[in-house]
């Protein structure tokens, strides 16, 4: 009796065990991404500020997801996956990142299973699947929550290929598996439309490894039959391409670029991705456009043609090389720049599916070399270790918006979208001066870069200036963009806010309504529109908006004074001049009799070292009014008065009010409050204001 050289369990289950190990190792490699934050590139629109996703999984959210476009794309399964994340894990970043990592790990295991079946070599399939999964170019597709489209569509793409190969595994065709393959493609296209190249990939699989295309080059009837039998795939791919194109055209994001320029980009971008594959250095989420010079186009075209000629010449001996290379080119075509839309023409995530073709070619070729000798084994281990190391080094770039955008600007210092979003990041951090500087740089780049949005910069810059009370300067940049039918939502929103600032709330309403149509459910627009309605006397309209806000966000501003937290937040984000105008109007209303309101506003302004002298002077008035209403018998109010007087430079008055506040605190036996007031009194006596 012959004894097996390997354990029977390994013979029967080795592939399953190896696939599980690949999944586990990939999961471990990318696990740090689960601790990262949302980023200011699309995560806000897909998840953070998406009112439909915020509902979790419900009948209403499902209807909305299937019945609308998301960022100009019909990708309902991607939207459903986000809603499921909210359902089980809430709106924290962790569940979204975890789903991305899990999907990518599963894709690695599925790719191994396919390559193992097609090449017959366990070690070659293992190496090729891991080098694809661990390559640093995969980092963007996994660590970016908004790239759920790639990892989810990748899962259905691989299942589609597996079912298609299974349908022709025997002597006849299994119609069940064939239609299952079509079903998986439908699900994939509902995750990301770039799977439109799948029918072409299936034709390549007919050549190798399925061997169904033998003689098709000389037999047109057979060739036509192979093409025609895939009519469900062609139909779905065409429909997905049409919906995608129409969605981008409706949003005005398709750039009027000449056919010659678009064709010239294709070989340049192919060369770019090949170079990044073999030398993955200076990776970033955003890249500057490459100039399509004659020399570059000629060199890139020669490279692509040479690879095509070589793989064609070796097609009889190594057919997998031609199949893998054509898979790479075909799957890359939809995102190669042949259609110009969006803010960038190149991205690491674009090669998530095309790179599988290169792994197929590598696995197939390695399988022909027989059992690996030790140099091959060492080279394989070293290459995987290098890929894993580079990926681990690239992952922290995605930990938050600041790190991500700083990296993008280090690679492409004048990339308009990176400059724009870094300006937004600086605004969120409260550095409005730096934010405006980056927005102005974007204005300069928009003259040079045709892919920069026509109105995003104007909207952001105008909004920033309005928050600072620089209304006329804001209107200068906003006015030329108002007539654009594809205008960015921030332009009409900022214009409406400028009118509110000028006491023209009735005139502001149509512009804010236009902004809300362009960005439904946005809480900032809703708050400003409610304010305009209240100030214009349209209380019923404001309360109707409050119901919408309650339904979509769980909170509502049902009265004018209920808007107070919104403007406190604007103040904290640097919009002091704009927020103060609301506080002044609120204080002039019946709510001006509220001691708590006067005291809180005075404290907010007086303890902020960025408050202007004019506002500090008004804060003193508010504090004095609150002290009068309490007849000087409320210690916290006197404490605020002291803080306000010190902020205005009246240190003698601050000491006088502070000592009265201290006496009341001691009288009430409030030791903690008394100690805090003593600390502040020491500052006043030293000629220093108190800052929080």
Of 184, 185, 151, 161, the residue nearest 113 (C-alpha)? 161
At residue 341, the pLDDT reads 63
Element containing residue 61 per DSSP (H, E): helix 59-66
Residues 6+ apart with CB under 8 A from 458: 477, 478, 480, 481, 488, 491
Count of C-beta atoms within a 10 Å radius of residue 646: 29
**Tokens, residue 212:** 């169904």
Cα–Cα distance measured from residue 357 to residue 529, given in angstroms and rounded to the nearest whole number: 52
Cα–Cα distance measured from residue 337 to residue 326, given in angstroms and rounded to the nearest whole number: 17
CA 503 → CA 6, 30, 477, 528, distances in Å?
84, 53, 20, 13
Count of C-beta atoms within a 10 Å radius of residue 259: 8
**DSSP characters over 416-427:** HHHHHHHHHHHH
At residue 4, the pLDDT reads 46
Would the pTM count as exceeding 0.75?
yes
Residue with tokens 């030293």: 686
At residue 591, the pLDDT reads 67
Of 320, 307, 245, the residue nearest 278 (C-alpha)? 307
Neighbouring-strand partners of residue 70: 73
Question: Is-contact 145 79, C-beta < 8 A?
Answer: no
The full 3-state SS of 181-203, as one line of letters, equals: HHHHHHHHHCCCHHHHHHHHHHH
- Tens-digit pLDDT profile for residues 598-616: 999 999 999 999 999 999 9
Cα–Cα distance measured from residue 345 to residue 513, given in angstroms and rounded to the nearest whole number: 33
CA 191 → CA 64, 108, 157, distances in Å?
16, 18, 10
Peptide bond into 209 cis (omega under 30): yes
Cα–Cα distance measured from residue 449 to residue 160, given in angstroms and rounded to the nearest whole number: 39
DSSP category for residue 669: T
**Tokens, residue 349:** 């995530």
Question: Is-contact 125 373, C-beta < 8 A?
Answer: no
Cα–Cα distance measured from residue 354 to residue 385, given in angstroms and rounded to the nearest whole number: 22
* Burial (CB count <10 Å: 0-12, 13-18, 19+), residue 208: buried
Question: Is-contact 586 560, C-beta < 8 A?
Answer: yes
Of 554, 574, 557, 577, the residue nearest 566 (C-alpha)? 557
CA atoms within 13 A on the CB side of 91: 14
**Tokens, residue 34:** 């689960």
**Tokens, residue 99:** 């789903």
Of 300, 292, 290, 289, the residue nearest 261 (C-alpha)? 292
At residue 499, the pLDDT reads 96
What would you report as the CA-atom Rg of the chain, rounded to the nearest whole angstrom? 31
CA 277 → CA 121, 137, 207, 347, distances in Å?
23, 7, 26, 12
**SS3 label, residue 262:** helix
CA 563 → CA 145, 511, 566, 567, distances in Å?
32, 20, 5, 7
Cα–Cα distance measured from residue 361 to residue 315, given in angstroms and rounded to the nearest whole number: 11
Cα–Cα distance measured from residue 468 to residue 325, given in angstroms and rounded to the nearest whole number: 55
**DSSP characters over 334-396:** GGTTSS-BSS-S--GGGGTTHHHHHHHHHHHHHHTT-SPPHHHHHHHHHHHHHHHHHHHHHGG
Neighbouring-strand partners of residue 73: 70
CA 74 → CA 181, 242, 564, distances in Å?
21, 11, 38
Question: Is-contact 244 73, C-beta < 8 A?
Answer: yes
* Burial (CB count <10 Å: 0-12, 13-18, 19+), residue 545: buried
Cα–Cα distance measured from residue 597 to residue 587, given in angstroms and rounded to the nearest whole number: 8
**Tokens, residue 1:** 């009796």
Residue with tokens 């897909």: 46
- Successive 10-residue mean pLDDT values, the chain, 692 residues: 47 81 98 96 88 86 88 90 94 96 98 96 95 98 96 97 89 83 97 94 94 79 90 95 80 68 88 93 88 87 94 93 96 84 79 97 91 82 96 96 95 89 90 91 65 74 93 94 86 96 95 91 89 91 82 74 91 92 88 84 93 94 92 92 95 94 91 92 94 87
Of 191, 206, 182, 91, the residue nearest 149 (C-alpha)? 191
* Burial (CB count <10 Å: 0-12, 13-18, 19+), residue 560: buried
Question: Is-contact 315 213, C-beta < 8 A?
Answer: no
- Tens-digit pLDDT profile for residues 182-216: 999 999 999 999 899 999 999 999 999 998 888 77
Neighbouring-strand partners of residue 341: 254
Phi, psi of 576 (to 5 degrees): -70, -45
**Domains of the chain, each with CATH number or no CATH:** 8-396 (no CATH), 594-692 (1.25.40)
Q: For the CA atoms of 259, 261, 265, 267, what is the dihedral angle to 10 degrees?
A: 80
């Amino acid at each position: 009796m012959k004894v097996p050289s390997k354990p029977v369990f390994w013979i029967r289950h080795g592939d399953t065990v190896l696939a599980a190990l690949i999944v586990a190792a990939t999961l471990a490699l990318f696990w740090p991404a689960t601790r990262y934050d949302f980023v200011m590139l699309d995560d806000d629109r897909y998840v953070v500020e998406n009112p439909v996703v915020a509902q979790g999984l419900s009948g209403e959210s499902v209807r909305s997801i299937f019945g609308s476009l998301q960022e100009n794309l019909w990708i309902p399964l991607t939207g459903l996956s986000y809603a499921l994340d909210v359902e089980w894990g809430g709106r924290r970043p962790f569940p979204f990142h975890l789903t991305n990592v899990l999907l990518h790990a599963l894709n690695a295991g599925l790719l191994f299973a396919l390559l193992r079946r097609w090449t017959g070599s366990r070690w070659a399939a293992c190496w090729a699947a891991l080098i694809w999964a661990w390559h640093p170019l995969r980092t963007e597709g996994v660590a970016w929550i908004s790239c759920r489209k790639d990892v989810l569509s990748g899962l259905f793409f691989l299942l589609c290929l597996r079912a298609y190969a299974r349908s022709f595994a025997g002597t006849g065709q299994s119609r069940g598996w064939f239609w299952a393959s079509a079903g998986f493609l439908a699900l994939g296209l509902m995750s990301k439309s770039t799977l439109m190249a799948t029918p072409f990939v299936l034709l390549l699989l007919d050549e190798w490894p399925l061997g169904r295309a033998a003689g098709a080059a000389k037999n047109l009837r057979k060739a036509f039959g192979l093409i025609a039998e895939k009519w469900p795939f062609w139909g779905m791919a065409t429909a997905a391409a049409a919906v995608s194109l129409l969605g981008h055209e409706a949003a005005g994001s398709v750039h009027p670029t000449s056919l010659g320029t678009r064709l010239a980009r294709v070989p340049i971008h192919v060369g770019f991705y090949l170079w990044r594959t073999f030398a993955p250095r200076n990776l970033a989420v955003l890249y500057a456009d490459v100039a399509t010079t004659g020399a570059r186009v000629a060199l890139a075209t020669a490279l692509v043609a040479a690879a095509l000629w070589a793989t064609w010449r070796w097609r009889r001996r190594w057919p997998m090389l031609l199949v893998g290379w054509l898979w790479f080119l075909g799957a890359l075509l939809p995102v190669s720049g042949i259609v110009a839309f969006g803010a960038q023409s190149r991205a690491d995530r674009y090669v998530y599916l095309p790179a599988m073709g290169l792994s197929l070619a590598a696995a197939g070729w390695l399988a022909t070399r027989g059992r690996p000798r030790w140099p091959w084994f060492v080279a394989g281990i070293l290459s995987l270790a290098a890929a894993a190391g580079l990926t681990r080094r690239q992952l922290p770039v995605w930990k938050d918006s600041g790190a991500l955008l700083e990296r993008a600007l280090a690679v492409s210092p004048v990339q308009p979208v990176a400059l724009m979003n870094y300006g937004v990041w600086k605004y969120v951090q409260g550095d409005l001066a730096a934010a405006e500087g980056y927005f102005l740089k974007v204005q300069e780049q928009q003259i040079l870069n045709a892919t920069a949005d026509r109105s995003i910069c104007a909207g952001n810059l105008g909004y920033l200036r309005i928050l600072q009370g620089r209304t006329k300067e804001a209107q200068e940049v906003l006015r030329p963009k108002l007539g654009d039918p594809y205008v960015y939502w921030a332009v009409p929103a900022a214009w409406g806010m400028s009118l509110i600032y000028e006491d023209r709330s009735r005139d502001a309403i149509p512009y804010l309504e236009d902004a809300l149509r362009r960005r439904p459910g946005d809480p900032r627009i809703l708050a400003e529109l409610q304010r305009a309605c209240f100030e214009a006397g349209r209380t019923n309209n404001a309360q109707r908006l409050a119901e919408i806000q309650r339904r979509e966000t769980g909170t509502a501003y049902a009265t004018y004074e209920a808007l107070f937290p919104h403007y406190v937040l604007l103040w904290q984000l640097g919009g002091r001049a704009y927020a103060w105008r609301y506080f002044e109007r609120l204080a002039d209303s019946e709510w001006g009799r509220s001691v708590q309101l006067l005291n809180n506003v005075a404290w907010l302004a007086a303890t902020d070292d960025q408050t202007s002298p004019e506002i500090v002077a008004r804060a003193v008035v508010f504090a004095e009014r609150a002290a009068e209403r309490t007849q000087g018998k409320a210690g916290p109010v006197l404490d605020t008065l002291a803080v306000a007087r010190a902020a205005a430079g009246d240190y003698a008055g601050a000491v006088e009010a502070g000592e009265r506040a201290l006496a009341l605190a001691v009288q009430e036996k409030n030791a903690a409050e008394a100690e805090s007031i003593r600390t502040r009194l020491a500052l006043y006596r030293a000629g220093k204001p108190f800052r929080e």
